[in-house]
Amino acid sequence: MSRPPPPLPREARLVILTGAGISAESGVRTFRDGDGLWERHRLEDVATPEAFRRDPDLVHRFYNERRRGLATVEPNAAHRALVQLEAAWPGEFLLVTQNVDDLHDRAGSRQLLHMHGELLKGRCLGCRTVVDWPGDMDCDSRCPVCATGAMRPHIVWFHELPLGLDPIYEALERCDLFVAIGTSGHVHPAAGFVEAVGPRCRTLELNLEPSRVASAFQEARSGRATELVPALVAELLG
Ligand code: OAD
């Protein structure tokens, strides 16, 4: 059996990446599990710029349904444990999420980047301003800032560039611990973050089952996020 890694110094820099698996136990559907969103919808129909040009009503309906769904879910023990870690950790901390739900925000995470956008925001197709958008959106929705531009969901679709990549890669280059939680490793660039860390960085995957890129991590733990994440946080805060 391999020896456990040495404890991290308290000034260690942490980058945590989360995916749909961390919100699954809150009742938010994942993408690629048995009853996942991409089993019920073709992503080419609802999650690409071409889909939005072809059938904006369908795309709006898809995101309206998901936006409404947020009202029925709550952050879980894994979201809350990451807030506890951020609050107590003396070193640098960055939470990068691929999730477009607001569960990390509602739990209280602050050093947080939504690299795939946010369901509760909209973006003007005219002036490009991003605004809070808690309700339904449709083809008649207009930008509250310029008053004329049509709106789209503030979601990064396939073939579009994720948000915040510069600060994310800077943090990855200098981090001492990289943890990926509840992500299947199917979607780049997030799936490649584990390869972008420096040579001395410890890497750890927490997932229900090994992800597609599990072998790139030094350590992988299998189980539910609501159990594994609080246990890891307790371990790190020692
Ligand atoms: P996926 O649906 O691809 O993967 C979810 C992962 O979470 C799987 O590996 C599951 O095994 C794991 N999982 C499920 N329940 C869990 C639990 N209770 N505890 C721990 N792990 C659990 O979701 P993502 O990897 O987040 O992008 O998907 C990445 C991107 O693909 C999404 O952000 C979205 C999607 O297309 C865009 O929409 C741009």
Query: Which SS3 state, helix, strand or coil, does residue 217 take?
Result: coil
Residues written for the chain: 238
List ligand 1's pocket residues with C-beta within 6 A.
Answer: 19-21, 24-25, 30-33, 36, 47, 98, 116, 156, 182-184, 186-187, 207-209, 211, 224-225
Distance, CA of 23 to CA of 107 (rounded, Å)? 12
Q: How confident is the model over 111-138, as a mean pLDDT? A: 98
> Per residue in 138-160, pLDDT tens?
999 999 999 999 999 999 999 99
- pLDDT, position 5: 67
pTM of the model: 0.96
Ligand 1 centroid–CA 7 distance in Å is: 29
Model confidence pLDDT, tens digit, residues 48-71: 999 999 999 999 999 999 999 999
Q: What is the number of helices (H) and of strands (E) in the chain? A: 10, 9
Q: Give the DSSP per-residue string, 78-141.
A: HHHHHHHHHHH--S-EEEEE---SSHHHHHT--SEEETTEEEEEEEETTT--EEE--S---TT-
More confident residue, 5 or 215: 215
Set 116, 159, 186, 188: catalytic member: 116
Tokens of 32: 């690629």
Q: What is the distance in A from the centroid of ligand 1 to the CA of 142?
A: 32
Ligand 1 probe mutation, 73, 98, 155, 168, most atoms within 8 A of CB: 98
Q: What is the mean pLDDT of the chain?
A: 95
Instruction: Read off the pLDDT band of 1 (50, 70, 90).
Output: very low
